[in-house]
Chains A and B, each alone.
Chain A
Amino acid sequence: MTGAAPRLAAALAMGLLFGLGLSLSGMLDPARVQGFLDVGGAWDPTLIFVLGGAVSVALAGFALARRLPRPVLDTRFDLPARRRIDAPLIGGAALFGVGWGLSGLCPGPAVAALSTGALPILVFVPAMLVGMAAFRLIRGAR
């Protein structure tokens, strides 16, 4: 077991790599993302290339991870336990899809773009945080 510093450095480096990849991929551009969803109009297939590149590399990385007894810097792999395809999963994904279509923004690009200081991002991200907090409140109240 190593100390916390290497794990925090790894998290910072992987976040930076993620943000760099998003920037290079063109996915920070809401018009391009919305263009991908516009299958009946001027369809822009770029997102397929981004997803294809990302999933291919991640697939290889996860295949390697399955051969390791534990992560390089930590004691265990933290994987989602849930398996069931249920109403919250589908309902949540549908609500997310509507918001994504309306804005051309999803959490990764929106948060990364905070560094641009663009006003639309400064409206979208706080609203997203309110949506997340609302979910916590509702779930907590149940």
Chain B
Amino acid sequence: MHPYWAGLAGGALIGLSVAGLMLLNGRIAGISGVVAGLGQDRGERRWADLAFVGGLIGGPALFAWLSGEWPTMRFVASLPVLALAGLLVGFGTRLGSGCTSGHGVAGLARLSPRSLAAVLTFLAAGMVTVAVLRGLPQ
């Protein structure tokens, strides 16, 4: 399958998941929020966070079982840079109340101006960062 069609089909499954979690449980499928919820939610909500994250982690394994191969992963950063990036992603998504799923998929689908502002900001910041990386001597 061409990467664009795989992207569209995979995107539709992601959209189905986001729609399904809202229709069934009334919750936004924002990954940074659910992951942070593992540490701060209580009671059933925490179990629901855990169930969703467990399913999410199982997703690539299910894909491997169905397709016969694990998803391609080509890493682009050294381990120290990954550690720095992880800190920024963790802190930034909490300060900004969401990431590519919560703001990018659910927020845009809810036509939230707040999420649109967040999406435009993290896209711009990401593009500037990659432009700077490309400008550095390799």
Q: Verify that A and B bind, or say they do not.
A: yes
Q: Which positions in A face B, CB cutoff 8 Å?
A: 4, 7-32, 34, 37-41, 44-62, 64-65, 68, 70-80, 82-85, 88-108, 110-116, 118-120, 123-136
- Is A97 touching B92 in the complex (CB atoms < 8 A)? yes
Tell me what chain A mostly uses at the interface: helix, strand, loop, or mixed.
Answer: helix
Give the docked Cα–Cα distance between A22 and B48 (Å).
20
Q: Which single residue of chain A is at the shortest CB-CB distance from B43? A: A4
Pairs across A and B, CB under 8 Å, 12 listed: A11-B52, A14-B21, A21-B12, A23-B62, A40-B134, A53-B10, A88-B95, A93-B96, A93-B121, A93-B125, A99-B86, A114-B57
Task: Provide the residues of chain B in CB contact with A46, threshold 8 Å.
Answer: 3-4, 7
Chain B residue at minimum C-beta to C-beta distance from A38: B130
Decide: A29 and B55 in contact? CB cutoff 8 A.
no
A111 to B55, CA, bound (A): 10
Whether the Cβ atoms of A99 and B84 lie closer than 8 Å is yes
Asked whether A50 and B88 contact (CB < 8 A) given A55-B108, A120-B75, A123-B82, the answer is: no
Do the beta carbons of A132 and B103 come within 8 Å of each other? no
- In whole angstroms, how far apart are the Cα atoms of A76 and B26 in the complex? 6
Given contacts A45-B4, A102-B85, contact A90 B121 (CB under 8 A): yes
Min CB–CB distance B59 → chain A (angstroms): 1
CA distance A58 to B56 in the complex (A): 18
Given contacts A22-B14, A49-B7, A82-B114, contact A134 B126 (CB under 8 A): no
